[in-house]
Structure 1
Amino acid sequence: MTAPTPTRSGLDQLAGEFVTLADALDYAADGETGLNFYSIRGELTLAMPYRTLRHEALALARRLLQLGLRQGERVAIVAETHPDFMRVFFACQYAGLVPAPLPMPFVFGGRETYVAHVRRLIEEAQAVALFVPEALRGWFSPADAGSLRLCSTLAGLPADGEDLPCGGTGADIKLPTIGADHTAYLQFSSGSTRFPIGVVVQQRALMANISGILQHGLQIRPDDRAISWLPLYHDMGLVGFLLSPLAGQVSVDLLATQDFVRRPQLWLSLITGNRGTISYSPSFGYELCTRRERAINKTELDLSSWRIAGIGGDMIRPASLASFARIFAPCGYRPEAFLPSYGMAEATLAISFAPVGRGIETDIVDLDRLEQDGVAARPASLDTRARTLVLCGTSLPGHEIEIRSVDGDALGDRRVGRIFVRGASLMKGYDRRPDETQAILSPDGWLETGDLGYRLGDTLVLTGRAKDLIIINGRNIWPQDLEWSIERSVADVRTGDVAAFSIEQDGHETLIVAVEARGVADPADSERLVRAVGDAVRAGHGLDSLVVLMAPGSLPYTSSGKLSRSAVRQRYLADRLAAVAVPA
């Protein structure tokens, strides 16, 4: 096909009203819509109608079973924004296999770090097969396969009938019957553990979340069209902009994440050219477009079709969104298109949505009362230190949200506490991690999200993370991971000599790394240490950081012997860190 799939499917629109994801694809395949893949030059490289995806996924499902894979086994897939990922993911749905999407290497500092990370994810998932993109064919040697029985690109599969465990042809293979209680996929989620663990997402939970997203959150229409550059290994990209549109028979125009980062105009140009109506981004996507304003030809843009500009994945900064709306207003962008929402992988994706068509609504609170008393009180005067917080709407139908104190008591309006959620979209549990599951999921179905917030009637307002989670560019980053990378990579840094945290600086989240500088004799030594720490963070995590050198023994610890990152952060903000010899 030389043209993208049409916007209208020609079917009676069903908004996620299916038992399984395979049922949703079966229905969408009778229509005209599908997936469209675009290059960094903005050119359509392939239009894949849902009927084509279904046909190819069914054939591949039989091939995978013919290769000896068995129902319920896990298949790791590097989640490239490419038709091959879609083919393998949906083949797993029909074959009763459990796909586990893996990140692409652009979020890592190099080949060695990336391969080691993927190897651990494969082990965590207990995957028996791994599919990688053609571009990464040479990155994985037989030694990387470990317990894998299959490690291949899609094109590298053996020919039909060639040295296959089951013999015969793919057509001889009978596909299993998949029901609501079967596992749809594993979604890796970074929690309080040292390494990501798999969230078990059942078909029942997935379809409950998708129907809530389409019907309640987005209020889907027959003339909607989705545009996305979000990574498919992340729940917002996978569920929000692959699985949900498919289950609503909506066409999706897809850009690779790294292509968007290089050329953010591509996102806005696709919305313009294809009359996109729904697209989401964490804060950094809107901020990137704002920062690159001069490189974007606004005279070529028409954003008047964009009715839902979703925002999620991190704390929402209303000032950044206001800048985006102001800059692109001449292009037809309407600020009421902004749609705040809240979610997490443990709830499949979405938990709450603000009302469609009302844009960013905020609550201004007394910052001192918020910090000291845990009360979101209105400022007493114009001189009061204040914080502007975004309203994240109401819970999906059939779901409940509670704000609880540290003692577990339900709190009233404007009382800040831990956010708990219950409903049909929640995970079955972490994969083979009963202790971690029990720690956050109660026997009566309440999930402790790890976030803090308060209520205004039925409306949820987030205030931040309950723990030390660092959120940069929509990524959830645990400080321990950064600290361990530095301790492993930099010979001059001992265990316990480093603390990582983030601050908001000039409207952006900035990563700060405080390091105790041992053996630093002059500015040259300081410069080498700063550079080595920065390189370690960049190589291991793909992040830039501001490195602060401190006097040995000056990092604060709690009475139980744990590093107090919150105290380090407070001292930094108060300019009371015992900094030493930072090079000019």
Structure 2
Amino acid sequence: MRFSDFTTLVDALDYAADGNSGMNFYSGRLELTERLPYRDLRDRAIVLARILLGQGLRPGDRVALIAETGADFIVAFAACQYARLLPAPVPLPPTFGGRDAYCTLLRQMVSGARAVALLAPTWLEDWLAEALDGLGLKFHGSVAQLQKLPEAAVTLAPPRPDDIAYLQFSSGSTRTPTGIAITHRALMTNAGAMIGTGLAVRPGDRAISWLPFYHDMGLVGFALAPLIGQLSVDYLATRDFARRPLGWLSLMDQNGATISYSPSFGYELCARRASNALPQGLDLSRWRAAGIGGDMIRPHVLNEFADIFAPAGFDRRAFVPSYGMAETTLVVSFAELERGVETDRVDVETLEHQGRAEPPATDSNGRSRDFVICGRVIPGHELQIRDEDGAALAEREVGRVMVRGPSLMTGYDHRPDETARVLDGEGWLDTGDLGYLIGGQLVITGRAKDVIIVNGRNIWPHDIEHTVEQLDGLRTGDAAAFAVDDDKGERAVVLVQCRPSDDGIRRSLIQAVTAVVSQVHGIEPQVVLVPNNALPQTSSGKLSRSSARASFLSGAFASEGGA
């Protein structure tokens, strides 16, 4: 097994093609629908690369790829590597949302990527004409349609390590989705650190994923990294996981998978579905690396999952907290293997008033909070915590998380001003996240832009959301907290998804939310009830507080009721 000594993704695929591993795609019923050995992936990609060049595309051109979970997407992505084209994965239509909204988003992303071609699933063909009208693409359609066209009689020149390998759209949690340029060198470095050090991949390992290919964790973590490490990997479509979360675990048992990842909400969905009874005969004893990332890690969710699935052989020491983002290719830090979720308990008053993460006094009756320790920075990289003036902070002092190293993006595609705001002249990336160090390990406390400042106190919105979601009838994802500053002054707003329509129940919920936030956090929020599924999410399934705040300020929830 080779991990980090390849220079490009093409080199890695050429090597993996000589082995017996590959990718396998399953239906929601856990039936194998497609098998893609790496040797077949290489052969199909080379043919498709010549066909793309035969359509008038030239090395350096961009190709938008609608990221359905299937072999066609992977083949098209690899074909772009052999043709030295830049693939830009874009999302499928959401489960909830209309055609018009998706066509507008698709048009925005294709234009933003400066794509000259688009490959999409056959079932989306009717939507493409509307979304792409007037963009002058050289080709748009399915891989099956493209394969009917002639190949160009060209020699495929290999990419260079510092060539851009792909454009990764940001999740849109704090900005309009933006293309992030990642080189082959950055990809090889990050993937090598992930599979060689962070997860310590070994012979016999097998991966499984339901994460979408348009998100960095799904694309890099469970499509490109397994290829680079010659691992076999099994896939469930994200929509199938959403319908039947326990299918993820059943497939893991069925195929003997040892490595998988999920944001906290994926573990919570499984725990909720299995709270009454486990699937009969489920065996999770071979699952040695259960990664968590993609959002704030909630330790109570993971503890509940571990308790529920312990009878199925799940070992809570398998949890691997980590931290990363698309701007660093994927991963920045990994917790140590076989340690499970380790937390640091801090005094909330000291955190909010002084910006320090101090343990609670032994005789203190004040509020405390457990933060998950996300481990040490990956090899070859540096990490610092800095204050607003750019000065490095000592351990346990909360500040902006800064990272530097060979995994970083070259910048935001065609956005030099935005790139300059986050990447300084010395190569340091401002992640936009807040955190602190403890024993050289990273702890994330939230996003800098999300912090609610009331009377000089820094209050983390996810703390308020967690408090609200513990009320009877509510669940994780039902609340969004943020600050607004308008003619009514600066205040905290809490949007709460409410399913009942009875006026009495709704008034009682508003009173309960107001009371619990006032009691626990010492502030009186404005509480607004919103319809079920109304809180916006990013492409990776995270709550988008910025979008929720924008909708609130635009008056979108004005008629729903509030206090």
Taking structure 2 as the reference length, the TM-score comes to 0.83
Corresponding residue to 1:462 among 441, 444, 456: 444
Cross-structure match for 1:19: 7
Corresponding residue to 1:182 among 163, 175, 196: 163
**Cα displacement string for residues 269-290 of structure 1 (whole angstroms, at most 9, x for unaligned residues):** 1110111000000000000001
The DSSP-based 3-state class of the residue aligned with 2:265 is helix
Q: Do the aligned partners of residues 583 and 445 (structure 1) sit closer, same or farther apart at CA in structure 2, a change above 3 Å counting? A: closer
Corresponding residue to 2:465 among 482, 491, 503: 503
Cross-structure match for 2:57: 69
> In the aligned structure 2, how far is the partner of 1:245 from the partner of 1:511?
36
**Cα displacement string for residues 8-40 of structure 1 (whole angstroms, at most 9, x for unaligned residues):** xxxxx0013210011111000000000000001
Cross-structure match for 1:476: none
Asked if residue 33 in structure 1 is aligned to residue 21 in structure 2, the reply is yes
In the alignment, residue 189 of structure 2 is paired with which amino acid?
Answer: A
In the alignment, residue 350 of structure 1 is paired with which amino acid?
Answer: V
Asked if residue 444 in structure 1 is aligned to residue 432 in structure 2, the reply is no
| Contact 1:108 1:540 survives alignment (8 Å) | no
Correspondences of 1:74-153 after superposition (within 5 Å) = 74-106=62-94, 108-141=96-129, 144-145=132-133, 146-153=135-142
Asked if residue 360 in structure 1 is aligned to residue 362 in structure 2, the reply is no
Cross-structure match for 1:374: 355
Asked if residue 270 in structure 1 is aligned to residue 238 in structure 2, the reply is no
**Cα displacement string for residues 121-151 of structure 1 (whole angstroms, at most 9, x for unaligned residues):** 0010000001111121211116624232211
Give the root-mean-square deviation of aligned CA atoms: 3.3
Correspondences of 1:348-427 after superposition (within 5 Å) = 348-380=329-361, 381=363, 383-427=365-409
Pairwise CA distance, 1:329: 0.2
**Cα displacement string for residues 249-268 of structure 1 (whole angstroms, at most 9, x for unaligned residues):** 00000000010010011100
> In the aligned structure 2, how far is the partner of 1:158 from the partner of 1:51?
18
Pairwise CA distance, 1:407: 1.2
**Cα displacement string for residues 69-89 of structure 1 (whole angstroms, at most 9, x for unaligned residues):** 110000000000011001100
> In the aligned structure 2, how far is the partner of 1:65 from the partner of 1:536?
43
- Of the structure 1 ranges 72-81 and 532-541, higher mean CA displacement relative to structure 2 is found in 532-541
Unaligned runs of 5+ residues in structure 2 are: 453-460, 482-492, 496-502, 508-526
| Contact 1:109 1:541 survives alignment (8 Å) | no
Cross-structure match for 1:157: 146
Q: Do the aligned partners of residues 296 and 75 (structure 1) sit closer, same or farther apart at CA in structure 2, a change above 3 Å counting? A: farther
| Contact 1:418 1:466 survives alignment (8 Å) | yes
Asked if residue 53 in structure 1 is aligned to residue 45 in structure 2, the reply is no
Q: Do the aligned partners of residues 193 and 367 (structure 1) sit closer, same or farther apart at CA in structure 2, a change above 3 Å counting? A: closer
In the alignment, residue 40 of structure 1 is paired with which amino acid?
Answer: G
Correspondences of 1:310-321 after superposition (within 5 Å) = 310-321=291-302
Pairwise CA distance, 1:452: 0.4
Pairwise CA distance, 1:536: 9.4
Pairwise CA distance, 1:339: 0.1
The DSSP-based 3-state class of the residue aligned with 1:414 is coil
Q: Do the aligned partners of residues 118 and 263 (structure 1) sit closer, same or farther apart at CA in structure 2, a change above 3 Å counting? A: same
**Cα displacement string for residues 534-557 of structure 1 (whole angstroms, at most 9, x for unaligned residues):** 489469979999x9xxxxxxxxxx
Pairwise CA distance, 1:564: 13
In the alignment, residue 479 of structure 2 is paired with which amino acid?
Answer: L
Asked if residue 322 in structure 1 is aligned to residue 290 in structure 2, the reply is no
In the alignment, residue 151 of structure 1 is paired with which amino acid?
Answer: H
Q: Do the aligned partners of residues 280 and 193 (structure 1) sit closer, same or farther apart at CA in structure 2, a change above 3 Å counting? A: closer
The DSSP-based 3-state class of the residue aligned with 1:156 is helix
> In the aligned structure 2, how far is the partner of 1:452 from the partner of 1:143?
38
| Contact 2:190 2:329 survives alignment (8 Å) | yes
Corresponding residue to 1:453 among 423, 435, 445: 435
The DSSP-based 3-state class of the residue aligned with 2:116 is strand
**Cα displacement string for residues 31-74 of structure 1 (whole angstroms, at most 9, x for unaligned residues):** 00000000011101111110001110011001100111110000
**Cα displacement string for residues 290-336 of structure 1 (whole angstroms, at most 9, x for unaligned residues):** 11115764322100000000000001111110000000000000000
> In the aligned structure 2, how far is the partner of 1:266 from the partner of 1:325?
17
The DSSP-based 3-state class of the residue aligned with 2:294 is coil
Asked if residue 298 in structure 1 is aligned to residue 260 in structure 2, the reply is no
The DSSP-based 3-state class of the residue aligned with 1:155 is helix
Q: Do the aligned partners of residues 451 and 266 (structure 1) sit closer, same or farther apart at CA in structure 2, a change above 3 Å counting? A: same
| Contact 2:324 2:333 survives alignment (8 Å) | yes
Q: Do the aligned partners of residues 502 and 186 (structure 1) sit closer, same or farther apart at CA in structure 2, a change above 3 Å counting? A: farther
Pairwise CA distance, 1:104: 1.2
The DSSP-based 3-state class of the residue aligned with 1:351 is strand
The DSSP-based 3-state class of the residue aligned with 2:449 is coil
> In the aligned structure 2, how far is the partner of 1:252 from the partner of 1:581?
45
Cross-structure match for 1:208: 189
In the alignment, residue 396 of structure 2 is paired with which amino acid?
Answer: R
Unaligned runs of 5+ residues in structure 1 are: 1-12, 162-168, 471-498, 517-522, 548-561, 570-578
The DSSP-based 3-state class of the residue aligned with 2:42 is helix
In the alignment, residue 26 of structure 2 is paired with which amino acid?
Answer: Y
Cross-structure match for 1:232: 213
> In the aligned structure 2, how far is the partner of 1:420 from the partner of 1:107?
36
Cross-structure match for 2:228: 247
Percent sequence identity over aligned pairs = 52
Cross-structure match for 2:326: 345
Taking structure 1 as the reference length, the TM-score comes to 0.80
